Amino acid sequence: MTKPGSRAISGASPAVEPEMHLLESARGRIHSDRRYHFDATRDSVWAALSEVARYPTWLPWLQEFTGTELIAGADWECEVHPPLPFSLRFTVTLTEVAAPSLVRASVAGDVCGVARLELEDDPEGCSVRVVSEVAPSNTLLRALGFLGRPLARLGHDWVLDTGADQFSRRAL
């Protein structure tokens, strides 16, 4: 289960992804580095993550989703409804998948950027680190990101934290 209060790792400095330079000057850019703990083995968490077709049943805010496999090269079309007055559409392209410990992806659409999941064994089960760097891609979202940065951050963090909690309760 996700431990309450899991938040950004203070002072963490993740390795720079090759695509990160594209985001350096993007308005409304959001960097996130979060760690979630689950009361399950890394293999169990990976097995659940591999049940890609079940994601919409675990994550009700994932309104549209075309993913079928957790493999490098897969493209997942997504529509996400965060607790904001709009939805986001984007494609997640899995650029690297190394079972049972790593997923790297690029994101393109209403938001663009990169993300990675790192799974590690820990004494209480499994720790999942989620690192992402995303920015709005269209004019309206860039304006909202610039003017409403706290709101954009709230929506982004809500998707990550709620998703981790729902994954813990519904998938494991």
Q: What is the pLDDT of residues 49-104, one digit of tens each?
A: 999 999 999 999 999 999 999 999 999 999 999 888 889 999 999 999 999 999 99
Residue 2 lies in a domain: no
Residue 160 lies in a domain: yes
Domain coverage including residue 80 = 18-170
For the segment 103-121, the average pLDDT, to the nearest whole number, is 97
Residue 50 covered by a domain:
yes
Residue 117 is assigned to a structural domain of this protein: yes
Q: Which residues contact 13 (CB under 8 A, 6 or more apart)?
A: none
Decide if 36 is inside a domain.
yes
For the entire predicted model, the pTM comes to 0.83
Q: Is there a domain that residue 44 lies in? A: yes
Which long-range CB contacts under 8 A does 15-19 form with residues at least 24 apart? 17/104, 17/114, 17/116, 17/133, 19/106, 19/113, 19/114
Is residue 40 included in any domain, yes or no?
yes
Residue 8 within any structural domain of the chain: no
Q: How many structural domains compose the chain? A: 1
CATH number, residue 131: 3.30.530.20
